[in-house]
Structure 1
Amino acid sequence: MPASPVRPATPGVTPDVTCADAGCAGFTASRRRVLGGLALGGLTTITGSTVVTMSGAPALAAEADDDSVLVVLSLRGASDGLSLVVPHGDPAYYAARPRIAVPSDRLVAKDGFFGLHPSFTPLLPMWEARELAAVHATGLPVANRSHFAAMEELEDAAPGSPERSGWLNRLLGESGESRAVEGVAVGGGAAPTSLFGEEPILSYPTLAGATLAGDKPSDSRRTRRTALERMWASDGSRMGRAVQGAMSAIEDLRVGAAQANNAASYPRSDLGSALATVAQTLRGDLGTRLVTVDHGSWDMHSNLGTLAGGRLVGMADTLAASLAAFFDDLGSVRDRVTVVTISEFGRRVAENANLGLDHGWGNAMLVAGAGVSGGRYHGRWPGLQNTTDADLTVTTDYRSVLAEIVAARFPGASLPQVFPGFTRERVGVMTGQ
């Protein structure tokens, strides 16, 4: 089966326009209320460090009863699933990694074949409570060792399809509603491909930093906002409604910012800060349902290291401690939240001369929180080979994991719409699936 090509830009289609100074896009929303009116198609406004991307689709009037939340945590740079979820029962693992293999006697949550990296000790209570599971040998159906091409293919999740949107944006379109901050990318930089599409999304590094472009914290008169209100308040056009909506969206974020930010209880890292903001957003009860967070870089061609030091142990420590703090911070909304980790591909089985690992294929995914069939390792193990160019073979298409989560947590969504042309296989990582 040939690899699915990365789709080039569509000829004649103008990329999204950034119009921060014009305040030209937004959406009408207020706390726990639905959108009103139309948003502008194809325009993006950057409101301070916040991005509001709008579609031309009309707002829908119904609010779903299901308040499930999915957080997609991307381990950018291609994490090594064989180090995080160790197949200690496969002798080829230790033969292929004489210097960097994780010792069997140091593993946690260990069964007769698999065990978790010891950095995951903070997550053991969730494992023992059956709120955390791992799925091994997952990934793209055909190996793709280009970071950028693999990330795009992974986040589109529609190889061979004419769809030019990300799978999370398509899931937003299946929700039957358009609520305030329903789809959110938290962290620095642009929103990921998975959220790109017609449905409105927000992107911000912190709730407290969300502001209209041109607003100055020192300006108590809020000159920028006042000018926009005078110009557009009585304008019933699409542009007028969009500008009014952008201002309303900022007010919603301020409601969320009134929640305590417990970042001090997280590791001091970009991931800790981002997950603290996600928890703050969810406790603000704004209607957020889909969230993306990036954590990287996991691209460790050299100095991946051992338990005594190196790059991986520090990254794994941060990942596990941040996730543990996040679930503790969720409070009363914890039973609504499911987290899944994803990475563009895995690493080779055999270590290289630089105490690192080169680009591979199969990987492991972690699934935690609500609805998870936890305390178990899922997937079909293909066996490892101790050769220079050996990969962990993918036996579970990553979309089967995502589709099972969607089916369990968003049962009203159409899987053929979210994952066009794909028929999922049962994984068993979610209860009732």
Structure 2
Amino acid sequence: MEQTLSSLHPDCPDWQRLGPTPTDAAVRAQATAVATEEDERREKWSHGFTRRRLLAGGLGVGVAAVADQLVTTRISWAAPGAASTGTLVVIFLRGGMDGLSVLVPADDPQLLKARPGIAVRGASLIGFGRDFGLHPAMAPLTPLITSGRLAAVPAVSTPDLTRSHFQAQDCLERGGAARSSVQSGWLDRVIAQLGPGTTFRGLGIGARMTRSLLGPTNPVMLTSLKDFGVKGIDGVAPQTLKALETLYTGLDHPLGVQGLAALQASAKAQSYQQAIQTEPKDRGYPEGEFGSSLATLATLIRNKAGVRVAAVDLGGWDMHTDIGNVDGGDLTRTLKTVAEGLAAFTAELGPELENTTVVTMSEFGRRVEQNGNSGADHGHGGVTLVLGGRVKGGVHGKWEGLESKVLDQGDVPGTNDYRDVLSDVVMGRLGLSSAQASKVFPGWKAKSLGIMT
């Protein structure tokens, strides 16, 4: 007598008859086995039956039907409904942004002398207080400037003078001094202090996992909402999803709850994506990965997906040659991308901007003196921008000028420690106490710079 499909076990060579593709058939076969062999299932889980073991067992797919991004996250904590104090977005501008061309001490004689070919002149600047001005490419952010929702801190740095991209980025993203023993990322420790939340509570958007999110809280990494879901063909995916839910339902194991919630999160992500009627560029975002990442993040925040912290990267700031001027050049083009992206992002958030704060950071600034190639080499103190809800606009922190006696080996000195800036933000935006902030930045007692209201 021919064996019925419903009784097929995944170890049986006929298991592939359960679905139109090997992926769907494998998931359904495993779901059938799990549903009919309760005792065996519990025994497997008690000995660490994980997705990896399932894949190693010969099926080759199984829970891998979940989108690649979900598989690689090890599934974030997935406790829905936790209270939220808003969202912190960290944008890492990799390469060492030239702070002296972004937040400019207007017509500073030392700056004009050191940079005869690349200094941004006062007449071109957007007035910003304390004798500073912003590069004119930042004009798309004028609504935030006039409403007092854009702040800047000059001379921000790590505690150690290093001109190595790797060392400086590693220090910033770990949230310690260069020789600190702490290994997890500072955003991972922020998530831990905030406690359980939705699957999307810690989020990295882009092609690489940022160092600041690495750690035991297992944030989600995605490139786009449309790829964050269950794979299958039309008319088959819902059946496969039901089989996956069978695998994760009623299990006396953390992954039982977390896996089911992650599947539900993927379904939500698909619903968010389907509701979008226009492409990012049609909503004002610049073309490219940066604009697409901000558009994806705005969609999640507006739909109240529970994003607590999110990280986005934008490279291209290592400008040793041809920085350019206000009429063109590498810096003007890249700053325009940032400003247009942030303008579109904050506009799309609408009322949710009040619950969202954005921080831009870079591993170091550039040297005060321009080099022989109309660029600037690796320096020390740079500029951090903070914008959005609860931000107190204007220039904050200590600034001592650019006289030779002030400079640190020809660099802007690090008079404002980056941990003071970030501590201000995590306490003001996310409601962390000073004791919690000290766990995010071990060994550091923060001094408020007054960035947040």
Q: Same fold (TM over 0.5)?
A: yes
Change (3 A) 1:411 1:417: same
Distance 2:49 2:356 in 1: 31
**SS where residue 115 of structure 1 aligns?**
strand
Does residue 1:85 correspond to 2:100, yes or no?
A: no
**SS where residue 415 of structure 1 aligns?**
helix
Per-residue displacement from partner, 1:182-224 (whole Å, max 9, x unpaired)? 011112x222111111113111121122124xx24x4531276
Aligned 8 A contact 1:86 1:115 in 2: yes
Matches within 5 A, 1:46-61: 47-49=67-69, 53-54=73-74
Alignment-mate amino acid for residue 353 of structure 1: G
Change (3 A) 1:229 1:81: same
Structure 2 equivalent of residue 426 of structure 1: 448
Aligned 8 A contact 1:348 1:389 in 2: no
Does residue 1:76 correspond to 2:94, yes or no?
A: yes
Aligned 8 A contact 1:338 1:370 in 2: yes
**SS where residue 173 of structure 1 aligns?**
helix
Matches within 5 A, 1:204-353: 204-212=222-230, 215-216=231-232, 218-222=233-237, 225=241, 228-229=244-245, 231-233=247-249, 235-238=251-254, 240-260=256-276, 263=280, 264-265=282-283, 266-353=285-372
Say how many residue pairs are matched. 392
Alignment-mate amino acid for residue 318 of structure 2: D
Aligned 8 A contact 2:157 2:382 in 1: yes
Aligned 8 A contact 1:416 1:422 in 2: yes
Aligned 8 A contact 2:76 2:218 in 1: no
Query: Cα distance, 1:60 vs. partner?
Result: 6.3
Aligned 8 A contact 1:52 1:200 in 2: no
Change (3 A) 1:429 1:231: closer
**SS where residue 127 of structure 2 aligns?**
coil
Change (3 A) 1:418 1:205: same
Larger Rg: 2
Structure 2 equivalent of residue 400 of structure 1: 420
Question: If each structure's helix is expressed as a fraction of its own residues, which one has the higher value?
Answer: 2
Alignment-mate amino acid for residue 67 of structure 1: T
Distance 1:41 1:136 in 2: 49
Distance 1:408 1:41 in 2: 39
Per-residue displacement from partner, 1:52-75 (whole Å, max 9, x unpaired)? 534898x768722x4311111111
Query: Cα distance, 1:271 vs. partner?
Result: 1.6
Per-residue displacement from partner, 1:382-425 (whole Å, max 9, x unpaired)? 22256996101011101101100111122245111111110111
Distance 1:289 1:241 in 2: 20
Structure 2 equivalent of residue 410 of structure 1: 430
Per-residue displacement from partner, 1:269-322 (whole Å, max 9, x unpaired)? 322111111111101111111111111111111111112221111001111111
**SS where residue 330 of structure 1 aligns?**
helix
Structure 2 equivalent of residue 166 of structure 1: 185
Structure 1 equivalent of residue 167 of structure 2: 149
Distance 2:331 2:80 in 1: 47
Distance 1:429 1:229 in 2: 46
Aligned 8 A contact 2:88 2:430 in 1: no
For structure 2, the residue ranges without an aligned partner over 5 or more in a row are 1-22, 28-47, 53-62
Report % sequence identity: 36
**SS where residue 171 of structure 1 aligns?**
helix
Distance 2:102 2:370 in 1: 15
Structure 1 equivalent of residue 391 of structure 2: 372
Given the two structures, how large is their TM-score scaled by the length of structure 2?
0.79
Query: Cα distance, 1:48 vs. partner?
Result: 2.9
Aligned 8 A contact 1:75 1:295 in 2: yes
Aligned 8 A contact 1:185 1:191 in 2: yes
Alignment-mate amino acid for residue 424 of structure 1: A
Distance 1:76 1:196 in 2: 18
Given the two structures, how large is their TM-score scaled by the length of structure 1?
0.82
Aligned 8 A contact 1:87 1:114 in 2: yes
Query: Cα distance, 1:113 vs. partner?
Result: 2.0
**SS where residue 390 of structure 2 aligns?**
coil
Distance 2:131 2:450 in 1: 18
**SS where residue 99 of structure 1 aligns?**
coil
RMSD (CA atoms)? 3.1
